Amino acid sequence: MAELFAGTNQERRAAADRLIGVMDYYDVSLAAAKEAGRYSYEFARRGTPLSTTDTLIAATAIAEDAILITANIKDFPMEEIQLLEQP
């Protein structure tokens, strides 16, 4: 949600609110936070640094067996994640 609203100006906030009203939302668990840290560590050592935000999103989506809709699939190189590319 933070990433959505970080890129949404005042005029588009009502539309963003409608969008999130029909989406599932998952809290970040301690286990997902640990997994996100592991992703950050491992991918950085492979030469692919990832943002903490993206690793938290990925770990939560994987833990919840959710499909992540994104326009930035390159930010989610984890093999076990289910992605749907949004053009």
pLDDT tens digits for range 24-70? 889 999 999 999 999 999 999 999 999 999 999 999 999 999 999 99
Report the pLDDT value the prediction gives residue 17, as an integer from 0 to 100: 95
Buried b (16+ CB within 10 A) or exposed e, 45-61: eeeeebeeebbbbbbbb
pLDDT band (50, 70, 90) for residue 1: confident
CB atoms within 10 A of CB 41: 11
Give the global pTM.
Answer: 0.85
Report the pLDDT value the prediction gives residue 11, as an integer from 0 to 100: 96
Q: What's the rounded Cα separation, in Å, for the pair 47 and 67?
A: 26
Q: Which of the following CATH numbers is that of domain 26-85: 3.40.50.1010, 3.90.1150.10, 1.10.645.10, 3.30.479.10?
A: 3.40.50.1010
